[in-house]
Amino acid sequence: MPRPWLAWLYLALAVAGGVLPWMANLDYMRAYGSSFDISQFVQLANANPAAQSLSRDLLIGASAITIWMVVESRRLQMRHLWVVLLSSVTIAFAFAAPLFLFLRERRLIELEQQG
């Protein structure tokens, strides 16, 4: 049973997931130059065992969730998955995953009202 409050919680997490990583990205650009050097970013993300752990955790978790998002969006006939997938690489996965959950919850509410 879909819960409307849950959709809004997911949306709030999406906002936080967009803002907080980008605050760190802006700090990175201030510290290492105004251009976003992806190779340097990846190198720093693997600079020590703690960073490697977080990077690998994100890579594996985000890969699994992205596959599920594609499968689930097809199952529920959701529209605009491309926006979620694009935001995952342009904003942050921490934004895209809760955004998908928000859109999914809204779709479940829509399907329940139709049925």
The pLDDT, as a whole number, for residue 2 is: 66
Residue 104 has pLDDT above 90, yes or no: yes
Long-range contacts of 66-74 (CB under 8 A, 24+ apart): 69/97, 69/100, 72/104, 73/100, 73/104
Residue 8's contacts (CB-CB under 8 Å, 6 or more residues apart) are: 102
Cβ–Cβ under 8 Å, residues 81 and 101: no
Would you call 58 helix, strand, or coil by DSSP? helix
* CA 86 to chain centroid: 10
10-56: pLDDT as tens digits: 999 999 999 999 999 999 999 998 787 889 999 999 999 999 999 99
